[in-house]
Amino acid sequence: MPTEVKPAVSDKSQTPQEPDTGSHEDPDEPAFDWMKPASSSGSSAAAPTDEVQGTAAGATASLDGPTEQPGPTEQPGSTEQPGSRADRKAAEAGSAGADQPVAETPVFADTLAHTPVDKQPSAYSEQSTYSEPLPTSALQVRPPEEEVARRNAEREQAAKVKPVGPRVFQILLAVFYPIILLVLAVRAVTSPLFLWVEYNRPGFPGDGYGFSTDDRMTYGSYAVDYLSNWAGPRYLGGLVNQDGTKLFRDGEVAHMADVKVVILSTFLGGLLLVLLSIIAILYLRKRSKGGVRRGLFAGSIVTLVIIIALGVLGTLNWEQFFTDFHHVFFANGTWTFSLDDTLIRLFPSQFWVDAGIVIGALVFIAAVLTFIFTWPTRRRRGLPPRKQRKAASQDATVEGSDQGDSSSGEFAGVDGGGEDAETLDAGTHTGAHASNASIDAEDDDRREAKTRAKR
């Protein structure tokens, strides 16, 4: 141990105070950590203490004057106690380190960064730098099994839930489809072509007041054109007979104006639905594979139900059905006329019966064709054909039978007395394996179909 250096002082000078380098007053201050022992060897902890002692002695000597030359150092076996508190603490630490290991204290990186290299403890190379735990260190801890099961269940439930957008557009497409078909059928009936077919078909009743087929075709074309153009009531009100009288009375012109409002509104509404259906089709083609087919398939079913119900009502009582239809769209007293009025002579009751039949037939045919072409076959659903499924099941059965034969041979080799029982067991295992293989094949088909539907 180094000897204590006594400064040279006179009788009148004040006794110098020793610098207190002990860390007992503030043991938690990181700045004093380098002064604490860091290893079991006394030499590693004594080196920094000697430096501190030498520094303190030098500072005292420079202030008070010349100092005495230090004497010879003490031998290691000397029992003399050091004079300063720091030397005593270093000695105690060295003696304690010889008996039992000293608990290592963390070395702070920020303290060492501001400490000169020659002042850093030598034990730092044997210690690990203290660091705060990373914020993501908790992610490496596996949660409890209950939490894992709950999260897996939530993920499976979320995977089973279908997106809302494609489903909404499919429903809209299914609702719009029958209305669009009805509007298109009405537009086909309100055309000069249908008039020509009606007036020239066999069995159509003639006019008892003098209109020929050509007259009917001419005047009827004016009435039909008025329903689909943007002309005013004068378009019909200005027509006259050969004798100069008005062809249509004011009540007839007013009723045709009401019909025109209904027809144009229907056409505009149908056009809007067509645009919305095109948007829905484009959306479903991008977001839902097979969504267009499913929407049209549902729409065809709804159309068939509606048209069959209307057909049954019209067949049971046409007059009541025709009257109720006019009550829905027109005011009472504005749509009834006498037999000699021009509208009745151009469009008799048989004309409206034929028009209803043609509308129903066109809608029915379109719905049936849509139903057939959108039927969810295995190919349209993205599933493999049944032949492949049967081949896979047969391969699984053959594999199971081979395994059963091998297992029965092993059993027979082990126990020759129970060949019949072991063969029966092998056959049972073979059948069970084959059935399980077929079930697995069906499950694979369902999973593949669900995956393709989600995409």
Separation in Å, CA 252 to CA 197, 227, 235, 236, 444: 24, 13, 12, 9, 68
Q: What is the pLDDT of residues 247-270, one digit of tens each?
A: 999 999 999 999 999 999 999 999
Q: What is the mean pLDDT of residues 137-164?
A: 79
Mean pLDDT for the chain overall: 73
Q: Please report the pLDDT score of residue 131 as a whole number.
A: 61
Q: What is the mean pLDDT of residues 289-305?
A: 93
Separation between Cα atoms, residue 377 and residue 370, nearest integer Å: 14
* Geometric angle at alpha carbon 113, from 92 and 28, rounded to 5°: 45
Q: What is the pLDDT of residues 117-142, one digit of tens each?
A: 555 555 444 445 556 666 665 556 67
Separation between Cα atoms, residue 60 and residue 62, nearest integer Å: 5
Q: Which residue has the tokens 């006259």?
A: 240
In the predicted model, is pLDDT for residue 427 greater than 60? no
Separation between Cα atoms, residue 262 and residue 265, nearest integer Å: 5
Burial of 307 by CB count in 10 Å (0-12 exposed, 13-18 middle, 19+ buried)? buried
In the predicted model, is pLDDT for residue 180 greater than 70? yes
Q: What is the pTM of this model?
A: 0.54
Q: Contact at 8 Å (CB) between 67 and 130?
A: no
- Residue 208 has which token pair? 């008892």
Q: Contact at 8 Å (CB) between 177 and 374?
A: no
Instruction: Find the helix or strand (DSSP H, E) in which 257 lies.
Output: helix 250-287
